[in-house]
Every structure is written in structure tokens, then in C-alpha cells.
Amino acid sequence: MADSIQIVWLRQDLRLADQPAFHHAADTGPVVPVFVLDDAAPGDHAHGGASRWWLHHSLESLGADLARLGSRIVLRRGDAVAELAAIAKETGASAVHALRHYEPWWRAAESNLAQSLPNGCELVLHDGSYLTAPDKIVSGSGKPYRIYTPFSRAVLGQMPPPEPLPAPVKLTAPQSWPASDDLAAWALLPTRLDWAAGFRETWKVGEAAAQVRLEHWAELVETYHDTRNLPGEDGSSRLSPHLHWGELSPATVWHRLAGAGVGRQTYARELIWRDYGASIIVQYPDYPRVPHKPGFAAMHRTGPQAAADFAAWRTGRTGYPIVDAGMRQLWRTGWMHNRVRMIAASFLVKHLLIDWRLGEQFYWDTLVDADYGNNGVNWQWIAGTGVDASQFVRIMAPLLQSEKFDAAGYIRENVPELAHLPDAEIHDPADERRGSYPAKLIGHREARERALAAYRRFKGTSPSR
């Protein structure tokens, strides 16, 4: 029906360029963009504190971009399906356009919404959140891939993605707008304690900022293969939160960075890893909550000392400078260098023998790029419990990792108590040189032997032996 209202349902796709839902809706009739803050559907994976900070600023930025086109965002809080169905009924909309998302609660909501819209209104889903449709990447026998390497080859076989769509130059507004919440009333930002000062210093949020960062990264990407593991270098794209919140489409990134250089090819595999995470949660919707290989919980430490060790890990007080630098960077900025994410996660699971799911939940709350699929896949890889995982007996040595990847400057930036130490000492300071910095929770050799002993006991009692 010509000129009928078109609702655009926004989630983690907060952009105008290469946004198929906006593109197709704008060609059909007046557009009503809607974002519903639905905290109930994800349960324990509702937006964490860091994500809520980013979401506030991303919605604010998109709202300003829409205002320049004579439009706005309708904000609602509650059950997404009920709110969208109500708005569709109120406006007489003929369609709700949305990008597909693969988190289990969004897949359920998409299915329920299709059945809940009033007569004459249809749900129109578009691809655009990933390089491919991750649930459609299957082997020759028609089965989805569980291992990353063949999955990656299959995705590369479908590249390049379609050329990015332009942003709409005009959005026709409806004659009247549905009622909307006030963004500030959602209290997504810190209220009692301003813990986000480092966030504001570190990040610029929104589609325009994402484009600026992409252009900056385009000048550096060819060095990525050599610098990606060096936490003291500006060797990471830092595009992950922009991609997670959909301020950039992965297709836009792919085409901007297209080329045959080794740095570009290495970075392309990181983009494909996003698709892989989505494909895994399609196959195993509870993957970030449930170990694929059960039984490892028998190795986890519990009790007061384990709780104290977990608190020390969270606050960057383990006595291992590279681990503590990462955890403090995470708390200060909402982001952690990828190599250090692995070191810190391995330390929790193997040095401290603490359940990886506690770490997953902490990362979920503190990362601005907290992604359900990627977070679960990465933690199960480290813990040795995943469908495609590192073996548990491969235990990272944080002190050696720190030296190998030249983390001295990174430690000085994030652990100021050690800033006076020379490079030769800062990775593993002697007790008398630590000052106020804590002693190690456990020595590396002792921790390694304890972890391997726990693993041997687990294998000895495992019925799958």
C-alpha cells in the first residue's frame, strides 16, 4: 500500500548508511523508527552497565542524525513484541522492517512479532548485521559448521559482500508521532558514582565517529598482522563496539579495507569471527551459559578464598602486572586489548580455577562491545569446553606473554604503582620493588601444577575417559 506507515525496529543496528531496514522503509512510505528497551527478554544477558552507557550515546547520536532528516526515534521500554504490535496498531502500519539478529531472545521475538502484528501489517526482516547470513553457512552435506577454519573458508567463498547501501537522503515523517519515552529517564548513564570518565576520554560514539575511526584504521590496517598482539601499540582497530552496536556495517568495513595485503587478510578473519560467533549461538542458543563439554565444573574452586581471588581478578589486584593492567583498562575504558583479554581469561580459569561463566558475566557487564556470541565462544575457547577450543592443558604463562608482546608501556599506563620500574623488571617485579602493588595470588609454577592436577583428577573420574 503506497504511503502506508513503515516501522523500523532498531536494536543493535543504530545507523543510517547500509541499513536495509531504513533503505526499504524509506522507499515505501512514512517511517517511524522505534527502539524498545526490553530488559526481560535476555534475562541474565540484559545490557550490562558499559553497554548501557554506549547505548545511551548511540541512541542520542542517531536521534540527532534523524532530526536532520526531519525524523526521530520513538523510545519505549517493556516487552518489545507488545510495544511494537501496539505501535503498529496505533499507526496503521503496513510493515515492520528490521535487521535479523541471532541472539536467542531476538530470534524468539522475531517469531512472536510476526504472529502478533495486526492484520495488514507484516514483519520484513533484512540481512545486514553480518558479512553473511550466519545460519545459512553450511557444509556440502547441509550441516552448519562447528569449527572456525572451515566456516571461515566457506564465508570467504561468498565474499565480497554486497556493496553498501547509501544512507537515505530523506525520511518522510508520519502525520502524527506515537508517544515516546525520554532517553534520560531510562537512566542508562551512571547516577550515583561517575565511573564513566575514562569511557568519555576513550570513545566517541555514533555513526559519524565510527566512520572517522574506520578511516583512521584504513591507514593502519596493513600493519595489523605485526602489531595486533602488542597491547602497547595502537595496533587494534577498536571498531568492535561500533560493529556490535551497528554504527558501522561489516560490509562497509570489508569494502573500505579490501585488498590483498597480509594485514588486511588477517583483519578479515577477525570480521569473519563475528559471523562464526553468531553461527554458534544459532546452533547452541545457551552457549555463553552452558559448557559444550560438561564436567569441567568439577575442577572449579569455590568458597571464601576463591571468592576473594575472583574479587582480586576483577579489580586488577592479582599481582601479575599484565593481567592487572588488562582488568584495569577494562574497568576504566570498557575495552581490553584482545591479547590481554585472553591472558586475563586464561588466568581466571587455569591459574585460579574459577568457573569461566563468572568471567563471562563480568566481561558482559564491563565491555562496551559485549557480544553474546563472541563472548561465549571466546570464553569456551579459553576454558577448553567449547566445540572449537584450546586444550585445557595449554596454560598461558602471563609473565612470558608480557615480555614476548612488549607490554611494559601498557603496564605503566594502567598500573601506575609500577610505572617507575624499568622494562627488565616491570613484567615480574621482585617483592621488594612492588611497593603498594600486591604480591602474586599464586606463583605461576604452583598454579600450573595445581591446574594440571585438577585436570588429571577430572579425566580420571570422567565417564568419557
The fold of 1-128 is: Rossmann fold (3.40.50)
- How far is Cα 422 from Cα 263, in angstroms, rounded to an integer? 31
Contacts of 241 (CB under 8 A, 6+ apart): 54, 203, 205, 334, 335, 368, 369
Question: Would you call 198 helix, strand, or coil by DSSP?
Answer: helix
Level-2 CATH architecture, domain 296-459 = Orthogonal Bundle (1.10)
pLDDT in tens, the chain (465 residues): 457 999 999 999 999 999 999 999 999 999 999 999 999 999 999 999 999 999 999 999 999 999 999 999 999 999 999 999 999 999 999 999 999 999 999 999 999 999 999 999 999 999 999 999 999 999 999 999 999 999 999 999 999 999 999 999 999 999 999 999 999 999 999 988 899 999 999 999 999 999 999 999 999 999 999 999 999 999 999 999 999 999 999 999 999 999 889 999 999 999 999 999 999 999 999 999 999 998 888 899 999 999 999 999 999 999 999 999 999 999 999 999 999 999 999 999 999 999 999 999 999 999 999 999 999 999 999 999 999 999 999 999 999 999 999 999 999 999 999 999 999 999 999 999 999 999 999 999 999 999 999 999 888 654 343
CB 193 within 8 A of CB 84: no
Whether 330 and 366 have beta carbons less than 8 Å apart is answered as yes
**CA–CA distance, 345 with 356 (Å, rounded to integer):** 8
Check whether the bond before 160 is cis (ω within 30° of 0).
yes
Class at the top of the CATH hierarchy for domain 130-162+205-284: mainly alpha
Please tell me the distance from the alpha carbon of residue 335 to that of residue 51, in angstroms, as a whole number: 11
CA distances (Å), origin 184, targets 63, 188, 242, 309: 13, 7, 22, 37
> For the chain, what are the domain ranges?
1-128, 130-162+205-284, 296-459
pTM (predicted TM-score) = 0.96
